[in-house]
Amino acid sequence: MKNIFFKQVALFIFLIPFYATSQSSVQSSSDSLFIKQISDDIFQNGKTYEWLHQLTKGIGGRLAGSPQFAKAIDWGKKTFESIGVDKVYLQECMVPHWIRNGKDKAVITAVNNKPVITQLDVLALGNSLGTSSKGVNAEVFAVNNFEQLEANKEKIKGKIVFYNYHFNPTNISTFISYSDAGKYRWTGASRAAKYGALGVIVRSMSGATDNNPHTGGMEYNDSFPKIPAVAIGLQDADKLWNLTKSSSVKISMATHGKMLPDTIGANVIAELKGSEHPEEIISLGGHLDSWDINEGAHDDGAGVVQTMEVLRVLNALGYHPKHTIRFVLFANEETAGRGAEKYAAVAKEKKEKIIFAFESDAGGFTPRGFSFSVPPSSWTKLNTWKSLFEPYGGSTFTVGGGGADNEPLQEAFKTPVAELSPDSQRYFDIHHARSDVFENVNKRELLLGAVNITALIYLIDKYGL
Ligand SMILES: [Zn+2]
């Protein structure tokens, strides 16, 4: 232990002059000192973990439209006010109101027409409609992918389609595997309903070793019947796949999902007014909504409390930003993205000048860096700051990200955007599963994320982008 400590101290002493000389501009040593102050204050006085506890244990799962979501809006506003800020307000927007409405079930009832009872762990997909009270009882037709579905379209009628599409283990960034597999969850139901399927079971978008199913949003194509859809745990997915290879398998499936009329939600927004360029806005945020079956601790409680921590620490250090810094807790990332749409629509209406938009929505794990979608000149500038992030782990800068809630801004105004890139190895173990709970967030990893985000926001405010 001691040896490691000394090595780190030695490394730090060695790195200080390196920062001072490696930067083209003279500001780097004062910046590295200020970032160290940010880090020290967050690790000594940070409220991130405490706030996460309030949000996850005090409020819990907060699907848009739910009473818990309304509580979260109230909590977000009060917490911002408690930190001290120039302005806090709610930006109301209509959000979809999907309810799970009961316990989702799937049971294998027969193998080669021989009755059995084997419970499978499933969760209805968000936005999916429930089965009738009798459930759906049908033979399973298992496919690995859409190509196999299309090749067998005449065999689908009256069946439950099981998509056993694997989360690709060869991608080191698990987000690549997630976006690759996502189409089965979003569109699988309607693609099977087109050929007369009665329901779909989708292999969870995860590489986890447990059997927790991972829910998530789906969308119906209005041209086809709206059939029920569930995600299945990975161990059960393997079991079901192996059974269907050699046998006919019958399943009874019961879900209860309902889409209620849209209801009022809100983005919760706080602002620190800029001293030199108040009309130029640096926006950062996370999304306040989560799934109903967990506490939304990593997704995206982490991003919410890190956003709040940036505000707290800048205040605590007496930092007065040049630009207006805006802290946004988005309303409805999970099921429809209406909060983000509203935010961009208001920005358009008010002709706001958002010079940079940031989101933390990739979990509260150890930060590795950031992913940017910015013009080439900004990219060059950002890379001169890289070494400032090295002591805090966030110096891997990649191109291409920006966060789902920043997409409408990016589309409408080509706003430069970025997101935090935490280590992604464990994120999809818990993402949208029952296990995304407070206990699975590591305090230091969460805080370190806030340190890196604050450093980035500080540098962009000070030097522009
Ligand atoms: Zn999220």
Contact yes or no for 441/302 (Cβ under 8 A):
yes
Please report how the helices 28-45 and 302-316 are oriented relative to each other, as an axis angle in degrees rounded to 10.
Answer: 120
How is 80-137 classified by DSSP, letter by letter? HHHH--SEEEEEEEEEEEEE--S--EEEEEEETTEEEEEEE-EEEPBTPPPP-TT-EE
Rounded to whole angstroms, the Cα distance separating 357 from 281 reads: 9
Expressed in angstroms and rounded, the spacing between residue 63 Cα and the centre of ligand 1 is: 12
| Distance of CA 300 from the midpoint of ligand 1 (Å) | 5
Whether the CB-CB separation of 431 and 206 falls below 8 Å is answered with yes
- Give me ligand 1 centre to Cα 108, in Å: 32
Ligand 1 mean position, distance from CA 303 (Å):
8
ω before 238 within 30° of 0 (cis)?
no
Give every CB contact of residue 339 below 8 A, 6+ residues apart in sequence.
Answer: 64, 93, 95, 265, 266, 267, 287, 288, 289, 330, 331, 332, 333, 405
Tell me, in angstroms, the distance from the centre of ligand 1 to residue 217's CA: 11
How far does residue 333's CA lie from ligand 1's centre (Å)? 7
- Cα-to-centroid distance, 111 and ligand 1 (Å): 38
Tokens 């280590």 sit on residue: 423
Q: Judge contact between 450 and 420, C-beta under 8 A.
A: no
381 CA to middle of ligand 1, Å?
A: 29
Q: In this structure, how many other beta carbons lie within 10 angstroms of the beta carbon of residue 354?
A: 20
Question: Residue 436 and residue 299: Cα distance in Å, rounded?
Answer: 7
Sort strands 417-422 and 122-124 into parallel, antiparallel or unpaired: unpaired
pLDDT at 27: 53
Q: How far is CA 358 from CA 254, 292, 294, 374, 442, in A?
A: 40, 26, 25, 11, 22
Six-digit token pair at 16? 């200080």
Q: Look up residue 210 and give its DSSP letter.
A: S
Q: What tokens appear for 75 in the block? A: 């909590």
Q: In this predicted structure, what is the pLDDT of residue 1?
A: 41
CB 415 within 8 A of CB 356: yes
First to last CA, the chain: 41
Residues 6+ apart with CB under 8 A from 132: none
Q: How many CB atoms lie within 10 A of CB 170?
A: 6
Q: How far is the CA of 386 from the centre of ligand 1 (A)?
A: 26
Ligand 1 centroid to 288 CA: how many Å? 9
Cα torsion through 55, 60, 65, 70, rounded to 10: -40
Q: What is the pLDDT of residue 158?
A: 98
Give Cα 34 distance to the centre of its chain.
29
Give me ligand 1 centre to Cα 437, in Å.
Answer: 14
What distance in angstroms lies between residue 74's CA and the mean position of ligand 1's atoms? 20
Looking at residue 365, the DSSP 8-state letter turns out to be S
- Residue 135 Cα, ligand 1 centroid: separation in angstroms? 31
CA of 383 to the centre of ligand 1 (A): 27
SS3 content of the chain, % helix, strand, coil (to 5): 40, 25, 35
Can you tell me the distance from the alpha carbon of 72 to that of 304, in angstroms, rounded to the nearest whole number?
A: 11
Q: What is the DSSP letter of 25?
A: S
3-class DSSP state for residue 264? strand
Q: Distance, CA 28 to ligand 1 centroid (Å)?
A: 34
Token pair of 134, please? 């009798």
Tell me the CA–centroid distance for residue 17 and ligand 1, in Å: 39
Rounded CA separation 307/454 (Å):
9
The domains found in the chain, sorted by start residue, are 22-96+261-463 (3.40.630.10), 103-258 (3.50.30.30)
Amino acid residing at 56:
T
pLDDT of residue 12: 39
**Distance of CA 334 from the midpoint of ligand 1 (Å):** 6
Q: Identify each DSSP E strand in 246-402 by its residue range.
A: 249-254, 258-272, 277-287, 323-330, 353-359, 367-373, 396-399
pLDDT at 28: 77
Task: Calculate how far, in angstroms, residue 122's C-alpha sits from the geometric centre of ligand 1.
Answer: 21
CA of 291 to the centre of ligand 1 (A): 9
Give the distance, in angstroms, between the CA of residue 76 and the centroid of all CA atoms in the same chain: 18
Q: Say how many Å lie between the CA of residue 361 and the centre of ligand 1.
A: 5
CA of 359 to the centre of ligand 1 (A): 10
Distance 464 CA to ligand 1 centre (A): 28
pLDDT per residue rounded down to tens, the chain (465 residues): 434 333 343 433 334 444 444 444 445 799 999 999 999 999 999 999 999 999 999 999 999 999 999 999 999 999 999 999 999 999 999 999 999 999 999 999 999 999 999 999 999 999 999 999 999 999 999 999 999 999 999 999 999 999 999 999 999 999 999 999 999 999 999 999 999 999 999 999 999 999 999 999 999 999 999 999 999 999 999 999 999 999 999 999 999 999 999 999 999 999 999 999 999 999 999 999 999 999 999 999 999 999 999 999 999 999 999 999 999 999 999 999 999 999 999 999 999 999 999 999 999 999 999 999 999 999 999 999 999 999 999 999 999 989 999 999 999 999 999 999 999 999 999 999 999 999 999 999 999 999 999 999 999 999 999
